[in-house]
Amino acid sequence: MTVTATQRLPWHDKYNEPDFEELRAHYTNPQALALLDQARARLQKFDGIEEQLTWQGMPWRWCLAYTKEGDPTAALAFLVPDPERASIACPLIPDMLRSMPAHRCKKHLKDVLLLANLVDGVYWPTFELTSKAQTEDVLDLIRRKFDFVIGKAKVREDS
């Protein structure tokens, strides 16, 4: 009997912490890799943000968590470097959603926000990165959350 060992992608291997370059190395689609890099570069620019590679279990596995002191959610955002389809999750509490002007939110963002799972008082919208413009829209949503966390955004009372 022959046993063939299959090599696991670093993204799948819970027991061996990769570095980000190892995760990037398995992207075969240059556009998807560019979107991942675009998102990471923008997230790193937020003032006072800490980036940490962390195992989050299934289905996210290894991902980058961006945390900010004072954020009432698990993280400002999670960048999920799935080699098949990178995504960003942006946990939001109801007050954060109320602080965002709905009329300025694009339809594709609203759709994901409306379908987001609510777990213990936190909404978990997850956005697959599909284009440069869509990625910028998601990053703008995260910037609005950041503004809320640092006290720049106010909750609208009419919501």
pLDDT tens figures, 1-23? 555 555 677 777 888 888 999 88
Q: How far apart, in whole angstroms, are the C-alpha atoms of residue 35 and residue 37?
A: 5
pLDDT digits (tens, 9 = 90+) for 109-153: 888 888 898 999 999 999 999 999 999 999 999 999 999 999 886
What confidence tens digit (pLDDT) does each residue in 87-117 have?
999 999 999 988 877 667 788 888 888 889 8
- Report whether 99 contacts 153 (CB < 8 A): yes
Band (pLDDT 50/70/90 cuts) for residue 66 is very high
